[in-house]
Chain A
């Protein structure tokens, strides 16, 4: 992992982070896009894809509704890919390492909610300043104030990524030698637990009637079909 690689990953973190709220919202911020993208710039696309797959399934049902801020899945995706890339520079996918990096990145990225809230608070100031500018007749200032907001969101994403990457690297170095052996055997099964937990999360939060029946029927018929083929 060279310094240049770190910069690239940080660039992806900021670009995808901006897509969450501030700009475009083309959904490059979703783990299924952000993680493979981070993997691509770090030369480990398959590793990124694996991270993205697990996270996307886990957080399928998360909604950014109103003023409540969901956990920063974008920075978990980019951060976990970054950590996995430092541990597996040749890009080979080892389930144990992927699971390990995800479980380290997920709690660390909780700080993302804090940084995001700080960015939005900082934008309160922008809104007030723009209000005063309008009153004094300086209308040009409004556009400028608005675009400064982008900077706040970018900074929040960058900080979250730096925390995940830096603290994550330290934790990896400390915990990896003792824990990775324990993870080796359960890792392939954990790869299945991620989607199962994600499915449970979406099934309890969705407003569709008889959703458990629908899900079970679909699961059972797919099982039968796979068994027949």
Chain B
């Protein structure tokens, strides 16, 4: 059994994951970030030429989702520790990193960017519609609880479990969870838009039922968006149409 890394060193590495993408570049993407996260641990495991070699190893191209990097890098520290002790397993450190980065990027993009963020935003926007300044706070809480959970637990579990951390990610079926959350988000969004449509009609002194017209309008926008129209174009066209309409009415 290997002597576990001092907690202070592990914690320093963990804190550094928040700056993983500080030098994101087109050529090797998160390479320096990875080194920045790993270096406190690498300095414990290696000295002199070995340390330089370890640095060289992690200068390679690496890119994944910034939150999902936590389990990968936690496990990488554990693999480096084994390697330093001469107990490397079937998969080398480089193999592990290159194997996990793309699938984990896909999982993180789907879960955090595609699902958690819009869902948290939709819920918070109900407060914004009511003019409550709680909206940003609710959004930040709803987004960051799962975010920080993944960062912290992913990193710690990655270190204690090493390569087996992938089994946990596997077992939770995160891509399917992402789809569920997206479905939930669409439902919340539908409700939010209905509320806004009704509120706009009431504000203009019209019967609330006219708000129902918002739904076919969404379908019109969907039609144009499928044809490749951008959001800015659709907005500008709507504005021109509305402005002309009102000018005609006034005349």
Contact of B139 among A32, A139, A222 (CB under 8 A): A32
A65-B113, A120-B24, A197-B238 given; A146·B189 CB < 8 A: no
B196 contacts A195, C-beta separation under 8 Å = yes
Q: How many residue pairs bridge A and B at CB < 8 Å?
A: 288
B136 contacts A150, C-beta separation under 8 Å = no
Q: Mark B4-20, 1 if CB is under 8 A from A, else 0.
A: 00000000000000110
Q: Which of B83-91, B122-130, B156-164, B165-173 makes up part of the contact surface?
A: B122-130
A182 contacts B208, C-beta separation under 8 Å = no
Q: How far is the CA of A147 from the CA of B35 in the complex (A)?
A: 12
- Quick check: is A126 within 8 A (CB to CB) of the other chain? yes
Cβ–Cβ < 8 Å partners of B139 in chain A: 27, 30, 32-33
Q: How far is the CA of A107 from the CA of B5 in the complex (A)?
A: 51
Cβ–Cβ < 8 Å partners of B99 in chain A: none
B186 contacts A218, C-beta separation under 8 Å = yes
Q: How far is the CA of A49 from the CA of B234 in the complex (A)?
A: 23
Q: Mark B99-136, 1 if CB is under 8 A from A, else 0.
A: 00000010001000110011001101100110101011
A103-B239, A106-B232, A212-B222 given; A219·B190 CB < 8 A: yes
Contact of A28 among B140, B179, B197 (CB under 8 A): B140
- What is the distance, in angstroms, from B49's C-beta to the closest C-beta of chain A? 9
- Quick check: is B247 within 8 A (CB to CB) of the other chain? yes
- What is the distance, in angstroms, from B31's C-beta to the closest C-beta of chain A? 6
Q: Which of A2-10, A78-86, A163-171, A186-194 makes up part of the contact surface?
A: A186-194
Cβ–Cβ < 8 Å partners of B245 in chain A: 186
A30 contacts B121, C-beta separation under 8 Å = yes
Cβ–Cβ < 8 Å partners of B124 in chain A: 32
Q: How far is the CA of A156 from the CA of B217 in the complex (A)?
A: 37
B23 contacts A186, C-beta separation under 8 Å = no
B117 contacts A215, C-beta separation under 8 Å = no
State the majority secondary structure of interface residues on B.
Answer: helix
- What is the distance, in angstroms, from A23's C-beta to the closest C-beta of chain B? 5
Q: How far is the CA of A122 from the CA of B114 in the complex (A)?
A: 29
Cβ–Cβ < 8 Å partners of B136 in chain A: 32-33, 36-37, 49, 52
A30 contacts B239, C-beta separation under 8 Å = no
Cβ–Cβ < 8 Å partners of B52 in chain A: 134, 137, 139
A64-B113, A124-B25 given; A193·B211 CB < 8 A: no
A49-B131, A200-B222 given; A149·B238 CB < 8 A: no
A201 contacts B231, C-beta separation under 8 Å = yes
B217 contacts A227, C-beta separation under 8 Å = no
- What is the distance, in angstroms, from A110's C-beta to the closest C-beta of chain B? 9
In which size bucket is the chain A interface?
Answer: 35 or more
- Quick check: is A15 within 8 A (CB to CB) of the other chain? no
Q: How far is the CA of A98 from the CA of B147 in the complex (A)?
A: 32
Contact of B131 among A46, A120, A121, A146 (CB under 8 A): A46
- Quick check: is A148 within 8 A (CB to CB) of the other chain? yes
- What is the distance, in angstroms, from B92's C-beta to the closest C-beta of chain A? 19
- What is the distance, in angstroms, from B171's C-beta to the closest C-beta of chain A? 22
B197 contacts A192, C-beta separation under 8 Å = yes
Cβ–Cβ < 8 Å partners of B55 in chain A: 134, 139, 142
Q: How far is the CA of A60 from the CA of B189 in the complex (A)?
A: 10
A36-B133, A146-B32 given; A199·B189 CB < 8 A: yes
- What is the distance, in angstroms, from B236's C-beta to the closest C-beta of chain A? 7
A52-B128, A61-B118 given; A218·B215 CB < 8 A: no
A222 contacts B246, C-beta separation under 8 Å = no
B196 contacts A223, C-beta separation under 8 Å = no
Q: How far is the CA of A185 from the CA of B27 in the complex (A)?
A: 50
- What is the distance, in angstroms, from A54's C-beta to the closest C-beta of chain B? 9
A196 contacts B217, C-beta separation under 8 Å = yes
Given A25-B66, A33-B140, A123-B26, 6 more A-B residue pairs with CB atoms under 8 Å apart are: A27-B144, A30-B117, A45-B133, A123-B25, A143-B39, A226-B194
A residues within 8 Å of B by Cβ? Answer: 21-28, 30, 32-33, 36-37, 45-46, 49, 52-53, 56-61, 63-67, 99, 103, 106-107, 120-121, 123-124, 126-128, 130-131, 134-135, 137, 139, 142-143, 145-150, 152-153, 182-183, 185-186, 188-204, 206-208, 211-212, 214-223, 226-227
Would you give 9 A-B contacts (Cβ < 8 Å), ordered by A? A22-B19, A32-B121, A33-B139, A64-B113, A123-B23, A123-B25, A135-B56, A202-B186, A218-B187
